[in-house]
Structure 1
Amino acid sequence: MNAYRMKPLAFPWPPLIYGAAIAAAFLLQAWFPLAVSDTNIWIARAAGGALIITAIVLDVWAMRTLLDSHTTIMPNRCSTHLVTSGPYRFTRNPIYLGYTLATAGMGLAMLNPWCLVTATVAAVVTSIVAIKREELHLLSRFGIDFERYCTGTSRWI
């Protein structure tokens, strides 16, 4: 199959990666509990809630932008248009950034510091497993336009 028609991923891994990160954080907290200071717990919970709300808004905005551009949301399907508007003006991966923020926010809201660690690990794994492959797909589909977009927009933030 030529690179132009190649799918970016055979399976949509990122939601599973972040789901595994959340599960791992709760298992790690059960097996190797990290103590959380009792002072200002409400600040951590409020910050966690703010991160979760930000993540939801970012994900919905990104998905709406993809739908409005008549291209796929699913990372295992071929893109039909290069989307550079909406949240894609600020980050090339707003949905994955939303997943990362939501995972970290859950850790703060539920006072589980392991979520912060596993959110970072999930972001690294997503970069290796999904983003690199998706970027190759977009480069083969959109060429110089995608290269130009990459020079002006960072991968995460």
Structure 2
Amino acid sequence: MRLVPPPLWALLLLAVTYFLSLAPALDTLPVWQTRPIGLIVIVAALALMFWAIFQFRRADTQLLPNSETNNALVTNGVFAITRNPMYLGMVIFCIGGALWFGRPFMLLAPVLMFAVANFVFIPFEEAKMRRQFGEVFDAYTKRVRRWI
């Protein structure tokens, strides 16, 4: 199912939108204003993703949802707020990248990352989780939203 892992999608989308934003007709924002905000947003995104990774490790289960050796459905901590903290972190990371470079056109990257995650990766992963964890996963999806 996955040719390009989701984190690489986020970086690829940032790179493509950055190079497209170099067109002379596209505006830029003063980076002295946007760079500190971008850094804060990037750090927050990384913290969210590492929090999720920490919870997977603590539950002694696999990080990759398509792994056959997943042995636990993590529903506490950040997973009690969003079912997809890793993807949410990637979208937020893309927002931070756009702010860091001060290029409004790059705000297309988080929109595209959201679309790829929401319509390609998440449905595939949720179908796998539903097969593996059944009613427990269904109850979790009723309790916790896909994003926030």
Same fold per TM (> 0.5)?
yes
CA distance in 2, matches of 1:155, 1:32: 38
CA distance in 2, matches of 1:30, 1:53: 25
Structure 1 gap ranges (5+): 1-8
Measured on the aligned residues, the alpha-carbon RMSD in Å equals 1.8
Instruction: Calculate percent identity across the aligned residue pairs.
Output: 30
Kept in 2, the 8 Å contact 1:103–1:116? The answer is yes
Normalising to structure 1: TM-score of the pair?
A: 0.85
- Do structure 1's residue 23 and structure 2's residue 4 form an aligned pair? no
CA distance in 1, matches of 2:125, 2:19: 31
- Do structure 1's residue 154 and structure 2's residue 145 form an aligned pair? yes
The equivalent residue for 2:135 is 144
CA distance in 1, matches of 2:34, 2:131: 43
The equivalent residue for 1:6 is none
The equivalent residue for 2:110 is 119
CA distance in 1, matches of 2:21, 2:132: 43
Provide closer, same or farther for how the CA distance between residues 23 and 81 of structure 1 changes in structure 2, counting only shifts above 3 A.
same
Normalising to structure 2: TM-score of the pair?
A: 0.89
Structure 2 gap ranges (5+): none
Q: What are the Cα deviations for residues 84-118 of structure 1, in whole angstroms up to 9, with x where unaligned? A: 01210100110111111111101101102222111
State the Cα distance separating 1:11 from its structure 2 match: 4.8
Give the length in aligned residue pairs: 147
CA distance in 2, matches of 1:27, 1:37: 16
